[in-house]
Structure 1
Amino acid sequence: MPTITRIANEYLAVDVSSLGAEMQSITTPDGADWLWNGDAAFWTGRSPVLFPIVGKAPDDTLLIDGRSYPMAQHGFARRREFSLDTATATACRYVLETSEETRAAYPFDFRLAVEHSLDGPVLTVAAEVENHGDEPMPFGLGFHPAFRWPLPGAEGKAHAVTLDNGAEPKRQPLEKGLLAQKRDPSPFTTGKLALDHGLFQNDALVFPEDAGESLAYAAEDGPSLKFQFEALPNLALWTKPGAPFLCIEPWHGTAAEYGGSRELKDRPFTSVLAPGGRKRFAFIVTFPV
């Protein structure tokens, strides 16, 4: 059975599972839980870490140097048991390393460390990928946290996502779970997207470029969550229509393009680590005090 590690300070308490190094809850002293609870009636995820791909592969199959490997949507890390590496009162670090099972789907020697840490009302979730092999290692890495919609104490209020850069990034629609080879006009107006469940009738909103490095998810005249992203140039927003959560998903890497290459290295925004290389990705959330 997975084990749970709790980190906490005077502002926040966060529970993290060894299964997928996935957050299970984010609570404030007033008893409010800001993270989605994984109700199977809608979606069992809460805050999965996506590795070694983000999104789908055609027929759930990757090509790596021309050889086929089975790979489910968003990769295998979210279904794997991680080992607790370090833990303090306000931080915990879980690690996943190469095994025979991972090699059957992804033939590289890797180390994936996921750390959750608190500093006042600020939560940082960071992932560090290392290449322990002797050849270049392609991969995608993303985060998929689901926050309450409506936010605690904001029932009945309008909610919006506002990009700090004020941009109007174009959307890349999904076709059979893969990225269509076109861009649609932006649903943002001068950086602001008024949230409505109708936006998600055709699956996630994917913005491969120009969403910037920070945004706010907020209720009108209500609570606001402020996000910052490190080395995560792609953004997706998703919910199931009618579900009481919103996923704010910063990625480095996307689904394969419909009709495009099936090779992992050719997927949009794929990272490639040299032998011995290491790369860090993170999102930071500031909660209302």
Structure 2
Amino acid sequence: MSSDLTTLQNDHLILAVASMGAEMQYLRTAAGDELLWHGDGAFWTGRAPVLFPIVGRAVDDQIAVGDHSSALPQHGFARRNLFELVEQSDTMCHHVLTDTPETHAAYPFAFSLSLTHRIEGATLHVEARVTNNDAQPMPFGFGFHPAFCWPLPNADGHPHHVTLASGGAPDLRAIDEGLLRPEPLAGPFVDGDLEIAEHLFDDGALVFPNGTDSLRYGPKSGTALAFTFHNLPDLALWRPTGAPFLCIEPWHGTASYVGDGPQIGARPNSITLPSHQSVAFGYSVTVEG
């Protein structure tokens, strides 16, 4: 079973998911208000790509697994591969990507990556499951990269904030030509709150290893999005200058540190999955107001 675009709908939300990358194409309220960035190439053609088998860049865009080495672009190859639609209902769809000769050239493992999108009331649930179908342990990183409208519907002119449920102030890692500096820096959150402003992203994305498991995005009152994350300890925020969106990116793994080698298993917060085992990741986002 396959489809180029799968549409889900309930009384609160309308969601469309493409087979290419199992990437969300739009997320709207029942009233038609756009919540997800629409992918204008003037700023960024992505909407909500899935990052696998690496998150971020590798040194010189080269990775290695044991004696195998190859080129692998930033964020891996899943977002540029067709997934198969294997199950669908009015409010749920399930896509799967499995290894091919082309993926083996870059990443020498038998694997499956499944993505399930489900809407329930005013909440979107997204779950990914990675399975190692190989005889050897499989190192990888995984992440989500959704971009949400800025400003949110009916909130134009109101300052938007990212507020961590923990009330904390996670450390930041500086970006150096797409790689991370290993030294922790004081982050911009104050008592868990960060007002989104242009200057925050002058040097690129803000990357917070050990970020948070839940947050709220939006103005202090009115329409906002409440997120919870599962098995995604790293957080990045990104907004190109002038762009009408904010990427809220929960990850398990990050870009390599400056000076690191190419081994995937040595990347920060990388997972090494035993043979014939699976691991799940997910997030939920609820429309409030």
Q: TM-score range, shorter-chain basis? A: over 0.9
Match of 2:237?
Answer: 237
Whole-Å separation in 1 of the counterparts to 2:95 and 2:284: 18
SS at match of 2:117: strand
Query: Cα deviations across residues 48-99 of structure 1 (Å, max 9, x unaligned)?
Result: 0000000001111101114311100000000001110100110001000010
TM-score (norm 1): 0.98
Check conservation: 1:12, 1:29, Cα contact below 8 A. Answer: yes
Check conservation: 1:23, 1:46, Cα contact below 8 A. Answer: yes
The amino acid across from 1:259 in the alignment is G
Match of 2:247?
Answer: 247
Match of 2:222?
Answer: 222
Match of 1:120?
Answer: 121
SS at match of 1:44: coil
The amino acid across from 2:63 in the alignment is L
Match of 1:18?
Answer: 19
SS at match of 1:287: strand
How do 1:1-289 and structure 2 match up within 5 A? Answer: 3-209=4-210, 211-288=211-288
Whole-Å separation in 2 of the counterparts to 1:123 and 1:33: 14
Query: Cα deviations across residues 163-199 of structure 1 (Å, max 9, x unaligned)?
Result: 0001100100111100112111110000001110110
Whole-Å separation in 2 of the counterparts to 1:30 and 1:51: 34
SS at match of 1:20: coil
Check conservation: 1:2, 1:81, Cα contact below 8 A. Answer: no
Whole-Å separation in 2 of the counterparts to 1:2 and 1:53: 26
Q: CA deviation at 1:221?
A: 2.5
The amino acid across from 1:226 in the alignment is A
Q: CA deviation at 1:30?
A: 1.4
Whole-Å separation in 2 of the counterparts to 1:261 and 1:143: 24
The amino acid across from 1:227 in the alignment is F
C-alpha distance 2-56 of structure 1, shift in aligned 2 (>3 A) = farther
Query: Cα deviations across residues 210-245 of structure 1 (Å, max 9, x unaligned)?
Result: x22100001132211000000000000001011000
Check conservation: 1:2, 1:19, Cα contact below 8 A. Answer: no
How many pairs does the alignment contain?
A: 288
Whole-Å separation in 2 of the counterparts to 1:55 and 1:175: 12
Check conservation: 1:35, 1:148, Cα contact below 8 A. Answer: yes
Check conservation: 1:136, 1:273, Cα contact below 8 A. Answer: yes
> Which runs of no fewer than 5 residues in structure 1 stay unpaired?
none
> Which runs of no fewer than 5 residues in structure 2 stay unpaired?
none
Query: Cα deviations across residues 124-166 of structure 1 (Å, max 9, x unaligned)?
Result: 1110000001110001110000000111111111000000001
Give RMSD over aligned pairs. Answer: 1.1
Check conservation: 2:8, 2:14, Cα contact below 8 A. Answer: yes
Q: CA deviation at 1:272?
A: 1.0
Whole-Å separation in 2 of the counterparts to 1:191 and 1:69: 40
Query: Cα deviations across residues 1-48 of structure 1 (Å, max 9, x unaligned)?
Result: 970000110000100000000000001121101000000100000000
The amino acid across from 1:126 in the alignment is E
Runs of 4+ in 1 over 3 A off after TM superposition: none
Whole-Å separation in 1 of the counterparts to 2:35 and 2:117: 16
TM-score (norm 2): 0.98
Percent identity of paired positions between Structure 1 and Structure 2:
47
Check conservation: 2:59, 2:260, Cα contact below 8 A. Answer: no
